[in-house]
Amino acid sequence: PSPAHLGVPGRLGPMPRFPHEILKPVSATLSGPPDDRSLVVELAPFDLDGDAIETAFQFDAIPGLPETLEACVGREFVFPTNPAPGAVDGSICMADAHHPADLTRLTIDRDGSGFRARLDCRVVLSFEGLQNAEDEDYDDFEVTLETPIGE
């Protein structure tokens, strides 16, 4: 079991896996000045255990990104996870809670006449807690998202 499972009274097995394949990005927007950029990744609405969810990933104060998407093309930006210095604070709201999300890697490439982003994220559901239909806590997870991006 992962560290999230250790020391949980009454927990006999692994926590249920969050069905991260339901997270389908539709667009992303990068805004703000260099060294304080924000990134919002809008997700298509999805159903989670019978609840309709409309949400987005929000990442703030992203360090080290150039001023334009054009200047980001072909580069890889890697970030540590919280609480390490240089980590990117982010979250995703589900079930009336903001669940922490770490942006760990970002690449931006050309896509026809626009740009496309690829993000690696770590989502921490164990902080606020998110339960499935059987009242079992979902486990933390990592996910890669790919989506068109604009400014």
What mean pLDDT comes out for the span 2-22? 64
pLDDT tens string 113-126: 899 999 999 999 99
pLDDT band of residue 38 (cuts 50, 70, 90) is very high
Residue 85 above 80 pLDDT? yes
Mean pLDDT of 77-83: 94
Contact 125, 115 (CB under 8 A): no
Q: Averaged over 25-49, what is the pLDDT?
A: 93
Facing residues of 118 across strands?
A: 107, 146
Q: Pick the closest to residue 57 from 29, 96, 22, 85 (CA basis).
A: 29
Residue 22 has pLDDT above 60, yes or no: yes
Rounded distance between C-alpha atoms, residue 119 and residue 112, angstroms:
19
| 140 contacts 2 by C-beta, under 8 angstroms | yes
Rounded CA-CA distance 120/142 in Å is: 7
Q: Cα separation of 24 and 136, whole Å? A: 24
Contact present, 135 and 15 (Cβ < 8 Å):
no
86-115 tens-digit pLDDT: 999 899 999 889 999 999 999 999 988 899
